[in-house]
Amino acid sequence: MRREMAIGIFGTGCFGTRKQGGAKMVPQVARVFPRRTNATPDDAYAFIGEPDFSRLPADIAEVHISVAFSWDLPRAEVLAALWGKIAPVRIGGPALETRGEDFTPGLYTKAGYLLTSRGCPNCCWFCRVPAREGNTVRELPIREGWNILDDNFLACSEEHIRAVFAMLNRQKRGITQFTGGLEAARLQPWHVKLLKELRPKQIFFAFDTPDDLPALEEAMRLFRAEEYGTRNNLRCYVLVGYPGDGFQAAEARLSTVMNLGMSPMAMLYRDETGNTSLDWRRFQRRWSRPAIVYSPKNRMEVTEAK
Ligand code: SF4
């Protein structure tokens, strides 16, 4: 599944309190991100890039630079030197390939984004999760949130999955999402019943290589059996631009997803340096948002599933 984002592997630490101008201050951890993503926190102690020395809060006691992508590591070193003028700096995040610990909502991800487990028993060649987190799933304490980012949520125990759905059913109607992605090959009828009851805004699957197709077809059969799911809420990441991939082959996979009745979202493969070609970036943009994918201007000859 796709969830390579900053999901917090720093310790929480205790910084005590200090005084400024007679008032007792609670020291704060500034979290710094090399780039903004949909999941980046937006509170007063979350920052993107270089510090603006004229506008920083006075009570920053430590700086955590959270790096989601390996190609941002050189920039993280530059940021560490700059933020080091404010407070001691630590660099962490998935790009450092260190195993994640417990998850604190709102710390390295926006409020509502949630990890309820870490790790994945699969070994997809393009994914760093098994190397970083190990080949087993570790179930974490279930916090409150509405956007599940787990590496492989459906690899968790039934007890854990049902407990997460119980938590999600307490959230505001219509905001829940599974943007971390669900593995189609693990989808069972009882999962689909839980999803139908919850009615998430978006449920993502993944079509990374051709051998994912039979599981996706079976997943759609399960959704149809429950008379639940449309292209508006059933979405599918499609990996494009990996070594040996071509535009025609990628477009065929994206069209296949549309024909299945899911809305595709192209995910551009990047190696550790993050390099991609301009043509693949253009291709990815064209296939990234439903409004563009289904635009008449896109002139795509795709027969959608009834
Ligand atoms: S199934 Fe597991 S190994 Fe494959 S992409 Fe998802 S998290 Fe990574």
Ordered per-residue pLDDT tens for the chain, 306 residues: 644 444 545 543 333 344 444 556 677 999 999 999 999 999 999 999 999 999 999 999 999 999 999 999 999 999 999 999 999 999 999 999 888 888 999 999 999 999 999 999 999 988 889 989 988 999 999 999 999 999 999 999 999 999 999 999 999 999 999 999 999 999 999 999 999 999 999 999 999 888 999 999 999 999 999 999 999 999 999 999 999 999 999 999 999 999 999 999 999 998 878 888 999 999 999 998 888 888 876 655 444 433
Q: Is the sign of the CA dihedral 301, 302, 303, 304 positive or negative?
A: negative
The residue contributing the CA closest to ligand 1 atom 8 is: 127
- CB of residue 152 inside a 6 A radius of ligand 1: yes
Record the tokens describing residue 151, joined without a space: 């590496």
CA 46 – CA 66 distance, rounded (Å): 10
Residue 242 carries which DSSP code? Answer: -
The whole-number pLDDT of residue 178 equals: 98
Q: Is the sign of the CA dihedral 128, 248, 238, 221 positive or negative?
A: negative
Regarding whether 91 and 139 lie in a shared domain, the answer is no
Classify residue 306: in a domain, yes or no: no
**Hey, is 130 helix, strand or coil?**
helix
Regarding whether 227 and 110 lie in a shared domain, the answer is yes
- CB of residue 29 inside a 6 A radius of ligand 1: no
CA of 181, closest atom in ligand 1: 6
The answer to whether residues 234 and 223 touch, using CB atoms and an 8 Å cutoff, is: yes
Regarding whether 202 and 165 lie in a shared domain, the answer is yes
Q: Which CA distances in Å does 293 have to 68, 287, 300? A: 27, 6, 8
Regarding whether 233 and 89 lie in a shared domain, the answer is no
The whole-number pLDDT of residue 23 equals: 55
Regarding whether 275 and 156 lie in a shared domain, the answer is yes
Record the tokens describing residue 93, joined without a space: 């995040």
Q: What CATH number has the domain bearing residue 127?
A: 3.80.30
Domain that holds residue 62: 18-95
The answer to whether residues 114 and 149 touch, using CB atoms and an 8 Å cutoff, is: yes
What H or E segment, with its residue span, contains residue 165?
Answer: helix 158-168
Q: Which CA distances in Å does 175 have to 89, 117, 268? A: 35, 20, 26
What is the rounded (10 degree) CA torsion for 87, 16, 64, 267?
-160
Q: Based on the structure, what is the number of domains in the chain?
A: 2
The answer to whether residues 117 and 150 touch, using CB atoms and an 8 Å cutoff, is: yes
Regarding whether 195 and 172 lie in a shared domain, the answer is yes
- CB of residue 151 inside a 6 A radius of ligand 1: yes
- CB of residue 127 inside a 6 A radius of ligand 1: yes
**Full-prediction pTM beyond 0.85?**
yes
- CB of residue 122 inside a 6 A radius of ligand 1: yes
Closest Cα to residue 184, out of 216, 152, 147, 159?
216
The whole-number pLDDT of residue 101 equals: 83
HSE (side-chain half, CA atoms, 13 Å) at 128: 19
The whole-number pLDDT of residue 1 equals: 61
- CB of residue 117 inside a 6 A radius of ligand 1: no
